[in-house]
Each structure stands twice: as structure tokens, then as C-alpha cells.
Chains A and B, each alone.
Chain A
Amino acid sequence: MENLTKITEKLGGVMLLPLALAAVAFLLIGAPSSWLTLTVAGLSMGMMIFLMASGLSLVFGLMDVLNFGHSAFVSFGAFVAASVLAALSGWLGAPSILLNAAALALAIMAAIGFGLFAGYFFERVIIKPVYKDHLRQILITMGALIVAEQMILAIWGGAPITVPRPAFLEGTLLVGDASIDIYRVFAFFVGAVTYGLLYLLLNRSRIGLLIRAGVENREMVEALGFRIDRLFIGVFMLGSALAAMGGAMWAGYETLISPALGGEMMIIVFIVVIIGGLGSIRGTLLGAIMVGLVGNYVGFLAPKMALASNMILMMAILMWRPSGLAPAVK
């Protein structure tokens, strides 16, 4: 048994869970083509949830701030991106892939830019007065969320809006009998690249070192001569930008978005952050992939269980590992 534990730790430990899950699902589903479609859908959904959740995990882990308003950045990101895409619809339908990609890149960059700017404003005005007070954080960020949702209603109206996709991401790829949505593959790669960049930032840079140290012990970081409050603003802006980017990607995935989008994603985002382990980007990725896969597999195998599947997954993981799968602090 001990040897088995050692071998699994060497191979990646808890990071093997999605593989194990996919293997079990393969046996239960039987049809390889359905399994492949569901797995790709689960992975891409997981990556988009990762984008939304990674910011919350950092903000929660480093700053000890419970930001229930996080989903407002997701919603705004989605709507800002949708507006930019609608404004550039001429480029989207153009036969040139370059123009297609430029429109998409501008939409995502607009969402990120909005996230950075709004994140700065949010931290200074709403979060700063309530550091170290969880109850007031919950109250004020929930209040801010209501205001933000009303702002979306005022700007974009209550009716769902259609999000145009660039022509080169429309359609499906056929792999054997399985049909795979091209946008899903794209979303997966965007998430994977973002994870890679975040990993480099956190593990290979001095700022990243400070963030990881700050998650564990803020006082000691200050006693070593660093202004953690300035680091907080940067992390909050980064977290908000990631959420907005996740929202933008999600808008392209759903193609029809309503102001309730952020609130609907929030529960899943919190589940991911909790099962991944607070403040850990690796844990958040793992949690997001697990939630994405479980959601898709269960939706196929036992549709009635789909709604409960995330909660059951969270309970099972917390009973096994109460601090989450890969917490930042041991």
C-alpha cells in the first residue's frame, strides 16, 4: 500500500484524479465517441471555470477577502466582450482568419482591460475599508454584486443577447465518430496557456514568490520589508481580469448570455476554489477540471443527478481532504 502511494505521488499524486475519472467514465459510458465528446467538453468547460475561479482563489488565499462580488467581473467580462464582438461583426464574418482573430483578441482584451480597471476601483472603494472583517466583506461585496447586476440590466437590458462567434471557431471537428466543437478546443487552449503563464508568474518570479509567501503569512512578508497592501491591489486587479476573461470565453461558449450568468457560475466557482484548496492555482485547475468532467459525465450517464453532482463531488473531496486537493499551505 505504501509503495502504491509512493508511486502515485511520483506520477503526480492528486493531479492524476482527472485521468482516473476519465478512465472510470470510459468504462461506464462504453461508446468511445460519446466519451471523447464529453471529455473534450468537460476539459474546455473546466478550463473556463478555472479562469473564473483562479482570481477568486488568489484573492481569498492571499488577501483573506471573501469577495461575493467576484461574479460581477465574470458577467461584465461576458457583456463587454459580447458588445465588442457585436461592434466588430463585420470582421467576424470576414473570410480572413486574421480579421476574425483580431476581433476576438480585441474582445478578450477589452474584457481583461475592464477587469483590471474595475478591479482597481473595487479594491480601493469597496474592499479596502473591510479588510480583516469577513462579515462586512460578505455584506458589502453582496451589495456591490447587486449594484453591478443592476448596472448590467441598465446598460444591456434584461433580455438575453446573442454573442457572435468568429467564423474560424464555428463548426466541429470530426474525430472518428465523435464530433468536437472547435470553440471548445480553443477555450481549452486559452485556459491552458493562461495557466502556464500564471504558473510562471507564481513560481518563477519574485512577485510570485511574494504572493505565495503572502498567502501563508502576511505579517512576515511585511517584516521582511515588503508593502503587502500594494501587492494586494495588484493581485485583486489580476483576479478581476482573470474573471472577466473567463466571462468573455464563457460568452463565446454559450453564445446566448443573460445578466444572471455571473450568479449562476458563482456557485460552481466557489465549489472549485474550496475543493482545489485556497490560494493554490494548481489546486484550482485540478478542481475546475474535475467539476467540468464530472458535470459532463454525470449529465450523460444520469441526467437527473447532474445538478447535485458538484455538491456530491465537493462533499466527497472534503471528507477525504478537508483543506482541499492541493492547498497552498500544508
Chain B
Amino acid sequence: MTLLKIDRMQTSIGQYKVLHDVSLDVPEGGVFVLLGRNGAGKTSTLRSIMGLWQPSPGSVMFRGQDITGMHTSDIARLGIAFVPENMGVFGGLTVAENMVLATAKGKFNTERLRRIYELFPALERFWNKQAWSLSGGQKQMLSVARAIIEPRELILIDEPTKGLAPAIVDAMADAFRDIAQHTTILLVEQNFEFAKSLGRDMAVIEDGRVVHHGTMSGFAADTDLQSRLLGLSA
């Protein structure tokens, strides 16, 4: 069943058009990976889904409901979480305060919190530390943890492995596998090996257009396609 359906979405920032024609069908469950070179329009796609930039024309349907033009906060309340590329962690707030803000009513579900501690033990250790003092990897963990402290239907994650040490990337992959058992993840990623290990379905975006849409296993097997679309050498 399709969870998120984007139809011929175009987005402009001022007079510059950043998305020309983006159509995607993100099925429910698992990890859907959006690949593409730098500046292709991956982040713009996520921001347009989230309502941070307004697409026009085109439509974004979530569970059959048209969310195009809706306010970001209303989109978030439908159960869509956003983990931005810069992580969006509030540095002046403690880890605990960052997490509290992500809860619906200011109270933690102990079961979920325990699960987060298991996935990211560092967060429990630094619970009362100010978030600016965390390392890059820990900030990324906090950003992802905020997205899963409440039950969500879809999590948009933008380049979570950028600049992280290999050991943390592995931990992140394990966490995403765990999260994807209950929630759908739309993952934007440059690290193809990481994306390959997680993704079930995928699309490639180039110059603001979706140029390929298919399964990850099919794409992973086709080295010519990888080389043509992503510039990867066989």
C-alpha cells in the first residue's frame, strides 16, 4: 500500500526552480532510499514534503490525504518526522529537553524511552548534558531519537551518515533496521553501501527530476545504471 505519493511536484526558491518533476510512490514499511548526486534535489524533496518549502504545482498525498500547502506543524502532527541534514539539534537545550519537545504531551512513554536507550546508549549517559557538547555522531543519534520518541508513520532522514566515523555508521544502520520494522523511513543518502544495506525500494533524482524508480536489489545488481546515474565505478 502506498503511504506517500508525490505527483509531478515542482518547487521554486525565489526565482530558481530546484525541483522540476518529482514523482514518487513510497510504500508502507521498510526503508525507501532516495539517491542522487550533490545538488540533485534530494534535500529539496524532503523539505517540500515537510512543507518547509511550498511545492507548486504538483501534489503530495499522505495516506490518501492531500498535504500540499499544509503548514509544517500540521504535517508533523499527522505522524511525519524530519531528521534534517544539519540534525536540527537545539544546542542550548539538554538532551532531555530536546527529547521532551519531541513528545506530544511533554511526557515520555517509558517503553519507548527504554528502547531508545538500547539503540543509543550515549543518550542515556549524556541525558542532562547540553546538546552542543555532544559529538557529531551523538547529535545525529539525538536527532533520530527525537523522531522516534512518539509513534510515527513516516520518518524523513537526510544524509545521516555524513561526516560520521565508520563505527557510528554501523550503529546507525542497525538502529534504522530496527526502526523500519515499525515505521516507514524515507532516507536520503550519498553513501551507497549504507543505502544498499538498508533500502528495499529506491529512486534516483537528477537535476530536480526522478530519473529512476525501482527496487534496491535491481539497482544494486545493475552496475551500468549505477555508473550512469551516480557516477559509481564498478
A interface vs B, CB < 8 Å?
206, 209-210, 212-213, 215-217, 219-228, 328-330
Residues 84-135 (chain B) with a chain A CB within 8 angstroms: 84, 88, 90-93, 97, 100-102, 104, 106, 130, 132
Query: Size of chain B's interface in residues, with CB distance under 8 A?
Result: 24
Given contacts A209-B101, A224-B102, contact A217 B90 (CB under 8 A): yes
- Determine whether the beta carbon of A213 is less than 8 Å from that of B91: no
* Chain A CB within 8 A of B31 CB: no
A329 to B82, CA, bound (A): 22
B51 (CB) vs chain A CBs: closest residue: A222
Residues of B contacting A225 in the complex (Cβ-Cβ under 8 angstroms): 73, 76-77, 104
Residues of B contacting A227 in the complex (Cβ-Cβ under 8 angstroms): 71, 73
A219 to B76, CA, bound (A): 12
Partner of A213, one of B52, B90, B104, B106: B90
- Determine whether the beta carbon of A226 is less than 8 Å from that of B73: yes
Residues of A contacting B91 in the complex (Cβ-Cβ under 8 angstroms): 216, 329-330
- Determine whether the beta carbon of A330 is less than 8 Å from that of B93: no
A221 to B88, CA, bound (A): 9
- Determine whether the beta carbon of B93 is less than 8 Å from that of A223: no
Partner of A219, one of B72, B81, B101, B106: B72
* Chain A CB within 8 A of B148 CB: no
A190 to B164, CA, bound (A): 50
Residues of B contacting A328 in the complex (Cβ-Cβ under 8 angstroms): 92
Contact residues of B: prevailing secondary structure = mixed
B156 (CB) vs chain A CBs: closest residue: A223
A227 to B88, CA, bound (A): 17
- Determine whether the beta carbon of A223 is less than 8 Å from that of B77: no
- Determine whether the beta carbon of B90 is less than 8 Å from that of A223: no
5 inter-chain pairs at a CB distance below 8 angstroms, sorted by A residue, are: A220-B82, A220-B88, A223-B73, A223-B76, A223-B82
Residues of B contacting A213 in the complex (Cβ-Cβ under 8 angstroms): 90, 93, 97, 101
Residues of B contacting A209 in the complex (Cβ-Cβ under 8 angstroms): 93, 97, 100-101
* Chain A CB within 8 A of B146 CB: yes
B84 (CB) vs chain A CBs: closest residue: A220
- Determine whether the beta carbon of B93 is less than 8 Å from that of A212: yes
- Determine whether the beta carbon of B92 is less than 8 Å from that of A206: no
Instruction: With both chains docked as a complex, state the minimum distance between the C-beta of A19 and any C-beta of chain B, in angstroms.
Output: 25
A315 to B132, CA, bound (A): 27
B interface vs A, CB < 8 Å?
50, 52, 71-73, 76-77, 81-82, 84, 88, 90-93, 97, 100-102, 104, 106, 130, 132, 146
- Determine whether the beta carbon of A219 is less than 8 Å from that of B88: yes
- Determine whether the beta carbon of A329 is less than 8 Å from that of B146: no
Given contacts A216-B92, A219-B84, A224-B146, 4 further A-B contacts (CB under 8 A): A220-B82, A220-B88, A223-B84, A226-B73
- Determine whether the beta carbon of B90 is less than 8 Å from that of A220: yes
Given contacts A206-B106, A328-B92, contact A223 B52 (CB under 8 A): yes
Partner of A329, one of B50, B77, B92, B104: B92
Closest 8 CB pairs of A and B: A220-B88, A225-B76, A222-B72, A223-B82, A213-B90, A330-B132, A225-B77, A222-B73
A213 (CB) vs chain B CBs: closest residue: B90
A215 to B90, CA, bound (A): 9
B132 (CB) vs chain A CBs: closest residue: A330
B83 (CB) vs chain A CBs: closest residue: A223
Given contacts A219-B52, A224-B146, A328-B92, contact A210 B73 (CB under 8 A): no
- Determine whether the beta carbon of A210 is less than 8 Å from that of B72: no
Partner of B88, one of A217, A329, A330: A217
Instruction: With both chains docked as a complex, state the minimum distance between the C-beta of B47 and any C-beta of chain A, in angstroms.
Output: 9
Instruction: With both chains docked as a complex, state the minimum distance between the C-beta of A93 and any C-beta of chain B, in angstroms.
Output: 49
- Determine whether the beta carbon of B101 is less than 8 Å from that of A210: yes
Give the most central of A212, A225, A226: most B CB within 10 Å.
A225
Instruction: With both chains docked as a complex, state the minimum distance between the C-beta of B82 and any C-beta of chain A, in angstroms.
Output: 4
Residues of B contacting A206 in the complex (Cβ-Cβ under 8 angstroms): 100, 106
